[in-house]
């Protein structure tokens, strides 16, 4: 009976919730963007330092549910040192995995981020996991200072 | 076929919760392998079988438009529609059915007043609200402020979640035109001392609007005894259908107010140059109304009025006391809203456990609660929390459901912290 729930709250997700990685301010950030989910009050700020097409550093601060904190924490781990191009492609894959019932993205190909695939079965929680990705995209695109899920 | 004859089950004065529960088919189901414990009554209540049957019967036998046809179905629909209006009048003890206006819900009722009553207001006129309002009793007035330049003033709240009434006198002045206040807070459960507020407002000749959305499911309301000028409530929170609600307005005030929406049913004559408007209450009911909803609401109110009101209040207060005591045993849990007078609603936050996660975890235990800002973001910022979890109980809830909530909270704490 609790298998379903354990799909959502896997140990890796709980670990990132309890000990979020790169959970810090970044005074020399190239961009900082605020993400807000007004439905549940989740608030994140994502910082990126970009240099010659690379994400040299990425960090975040904020408050939210376990899924949103863990998702943001795993995002920073996955993207540090990656190219902006890779990050944009990963955004597309994450978005598809989280929101598309017919998604062909193999969670196994996404490394640790694949554990978030269970969120798709909880429609009311998808935005918790995707908030940080939309915020990151705004930081990379440089077109907005704040984004909202609504 | 009429609404008022839709007989609810009669119950003895000692509260037989199993007998009551048998009237509510939705309660009898499994959720994720557990019996449903529905503790989200502040969001919407479940419907007794008599309401479901009334809706079905209307659509199966009587469906016709009201106030128009001379055929039998139209007569039946009109008769039942107007019988429901009389049922509403009795429910809140209004002086006349002319004072009962059907709207979509509390939100539309307040918007109607803000739009119509507000049309007479001018820049610099003032409206008093409180810091514990639902967005439905804030945003319409902010929109009015943008249209007309009225000034909004707010009665502050205390950390216990009560209004700071000693601050009220200083908010009145010669430009005060209305005081709009919630009867019961949806986010805190506080029952406001509306009698005292109305008495003060009367001393300044200021009309009072009460948002009764959270009061009507729990308290017996008498608008004449309260001496309020407007009273708003929603059908779905008082065991009736969604999409139907009531605006009560004092007849003399309603008479002086312009129509809210224009259309059919609200006119007396129409020419291409000019229209004259129908009398009360039709002046405010443009277009084909939610006929099924109105008739269903009538059945819901007949059901509630057949219950022993004192027994309901006593039982709900026992549930509240029990829930408050049990939740206080949960380590790291803080109750938000500890007013001396509350309805059966407990809002809380837990260390290390976000309301959104809690909602999902409790759902897997068959427990339906609400997590979020409860459309009361100013209250969340006052307490410095992004969101709370709210367990809101009705007269069909049982103490063992509170026990299961307690166990669920311990489980969530163990999982997440």
> Which CATH number is associated with domain A2-148?
3.90.1010.10
CA separation, residue B29 to residues B320, B359, B361 (Å) = 24, 19, 18
Are residues B386 and A8, on separate chains, in Cβ contact within 8 Å? no
Judging contacts by C-beta atoms under 8 Å, the chain B residues touching residue A63 are 386
Interface of B with A in 380-399 (CB under 8 A): 380, 386-387
Nearest to A41 among B357, B380, B415 (CB): B380
Show me where the domains of chain A are located: 2-148
Residue B169: count other Cβ atoms within 10 Å of its Cβ. Answer: 10
Sign of CA dihedral B31, B401, B361, B188: positive
pTM: 0.93
Tokens 């807070």 appear where?
Answer: B185
> What pLDDT, in 10s, does the model give residues B53-75?
999 999 999 999 998 888 999 99
Q: Looking at the complex, does the CB of residue A66 fall below 8 Å from at least one CB of chain B? A: yes
What is residue A4's predicted lDDT score, i.e. its pLDDT? 76
Spatial CA neighbour of B342 closest among B42, B106, B136: B42
Whether omega for the bond prior to residue B281 falls within 30 degrees of 0, making it cis, is yes
Measure the CA angle with vertex B396, ends B390 and B399; round to 5°: 70
Nearest to B372 among A40, A64, A125 (CB): A40
Average of per-residue pLDDT values in chain A: 92
Could you tell me what percent of chain B has a pLDDT over 90? 90
What is residue A146's predicted lDDT score, i.e. its pLDDT? 86
What is residue B212's predicted lDDT score, i.e. its pLDDT? 98
Q: Return d(Cα B41, Cα B85) in angstroms, integer.
A: 24
Spatial CA neighbour of A41 closest among B53, B13, B378: B378
Are residues A14 and B415, on separate chains, in Cβ contact within 8 Å? yes
What are the tokens at B225? 């005894």
> Which CATH number is associated with domain B17-47+308-416?
3.90.1150.10
Residue B370: count other Cβ atoms within 10 Å of its Cβ. Answer: 22
Residue A149: count other Cβ atoms within 10 Å of its Cβ. Answer: 17
Are residues A17 and B416, on separate chains, in Cβ contact within 8 Å? yes
Q: Looking at the complex, does the CB of residue B407 fall below 8 Å from at least one CB of chain A? A: no
CA separation, residue B391 to residues B67, B97, B315, B356, B371 (Å) = 42, 35, 16, 14, 9
Closest B-chain CA to A2: B364
N residues, chain B = 417
A80 three-class SS = coil
Q: What is the ipTM of this complex?
A: 0.88
Average of per-residue pLDDT values in chain B: 95
Nearest to A43 among B32, B360, B386 (CB): B386
**Phi, psi (5° rounding) for residue A144?**
-140, 155
B209 pLDDT more than 90? yes
Q: Looking at the complex, does the CB of residue B373 fall below 8 Å from at least one CB of chain A? A: yes
CA separation, residue B385 to residues A41, A131, A150, B410 (Å) = 9, 19, 20, 21
Q: Looking at the complex, does the CB of residue B416 fall below 8 Å from at least one CB of chain A? A: yes
Listed as own residue / partner, the contacts of B165-171 with beta carbons closer than 8 Å and 24 or more positions apart are: B165/B193, B165/B196, B165/B197, B168/B128, B168/B197, B168/B200, B169/B200, B171/B128
* Residues of B tagged active-site: 375
What is residue A3's predicted lDDT score, i.e. its pLDDT? 54
Spatial CA neighbour of B137 closest among B220, B224, B234: B234
Are residues A41 and B360, on separate chains, in Cβ contact within 8 Å? no
* Mean pLDDT confidence for B149-156: 98
Show me where the domains of chain B are located: 17-47+308-416, 53-305
d(CA B369, nearest CA chain A) in Å: 14
What is residue B2's predicted lDDT score, i.e. its pLDDT? 44
Nearest to A122 among B360, B371, B417 (CB): B360
Spatial CA neighbour of B260 closest among B98, B391, B47, B112: B112
Question: So what's the architecture of B53-305 in CATH?
Answer: 3-Layer(aba) Sandwich (3.40)
B162 three-class SS = coil
Closest B-chain CA to A41: B386
């Amino acid at each position: 009976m609790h298998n379903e729930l354990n799909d959502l709250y896997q140990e890796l997700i709980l670990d990132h919730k309890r000990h979020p990685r790169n959970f810090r301010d970044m005074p020399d950030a190239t961009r900082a963007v605020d993400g807000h989910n007004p439905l549940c009050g989740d608030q994140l700020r994502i910082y990126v330092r970009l240099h010659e097409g690379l994400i040299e550093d990425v960090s975040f601060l904020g408050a939210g549910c376990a899924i949103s904190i863990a998702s943001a924490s795993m995002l920073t781990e996955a993207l540090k040192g990656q190219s902006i191009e890779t990050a944009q492609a990963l955004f597309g894959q994450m978005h598809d995995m989280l929101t598309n019932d017919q998604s062909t993205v193999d969670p196994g190909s996404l490394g640790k981020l694949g554990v978030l695939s269970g969120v798709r079965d909880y429609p009311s929680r998808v935005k918790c996991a995707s908030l940080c990705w939309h915020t990151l995209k705004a930081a990379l695109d440089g077109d907005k200072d704040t984004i909202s899920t609504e | 076929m009429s609404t008022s004859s839709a007989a609810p089950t009669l119950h003895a004065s000692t509260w037989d919760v199993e007998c009551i529960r048998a009237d509510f088919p939705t309660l009898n189901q499994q959720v994720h392998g557990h019996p449903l414990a529905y503790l989200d009554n502040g969001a919407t209540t479940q419907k007794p079988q008599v309401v479901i049957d009334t809706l079905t019967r209307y659509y199966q036998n009587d469906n016709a438009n009201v106030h128009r046809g001379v055929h039998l179905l139209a007569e039946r629909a009109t008769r039942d529609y107007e019988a429901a209006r009389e049922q509403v009048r009795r429910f809140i003890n209004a002086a006349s059915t002319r004072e009962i206006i059907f709207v979509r819900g509390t939100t539309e009722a307040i918007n109607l007043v803000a739009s119509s009553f507000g049309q007479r207001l001018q820049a610099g006129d003032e409206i008093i609200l409180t810091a514990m309002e639902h967005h439905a009793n804030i945003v319409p007035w902010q929109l009015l402020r943008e249209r007309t330049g009225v000034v909004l003033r707010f009665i502050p709240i205390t950390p216990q979640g009560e209004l700071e009434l000693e601050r009220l006198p200083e908010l009145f002045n010669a430009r005060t035109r209305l005081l709009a206040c919630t009867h019961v807070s949806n986010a805190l459960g506080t029952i406001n001392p509306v009698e005292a507020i109305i008495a003060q407002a009367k001393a300044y000749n200021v009309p009072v609007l009460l948002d009764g959305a959270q009061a009507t499911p729990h308290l017996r309301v008498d608008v004449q005894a309260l001496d309020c000028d407007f009273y708003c409530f929603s059908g779905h929170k008082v065991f009736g259908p969604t999409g139907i609600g009531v605006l009560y307005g004092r007849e003399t005030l309603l008479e002086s107010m312009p129509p809210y929406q224009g259309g059919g049913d609200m006119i007396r004559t129409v020419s291409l140059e000019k229209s004259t408007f129908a009398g009360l209450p039709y002046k405010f009911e443009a277009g084909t109304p939610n006929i099924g909803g109105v008739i269903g609401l009538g059945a819901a109110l007949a059901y509630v009025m057949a219950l022993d009101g004192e027994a309901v209040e006593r039982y709900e207060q026992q549930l509240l006391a029990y829930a408050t005591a049990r939740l206080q045993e949960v380590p790291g849990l803080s109750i938000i809203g500890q007013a001396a007078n509350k309805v059966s609603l407990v809002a809380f936050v837990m260390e290390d456990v976000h309301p959104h996660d809690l909602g999902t975890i409790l759902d897997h235990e068959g427990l339906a609660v609400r997590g979020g800002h409860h459309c009361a973001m100013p209250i969340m910022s006052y307490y410095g929390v992004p969101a709370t979890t709210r367990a809101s109980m009705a007269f069909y809830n049982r103490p063992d459901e509170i026990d299961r909530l307690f166990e669920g909270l311990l489980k969530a704490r163990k999982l997440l912290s």
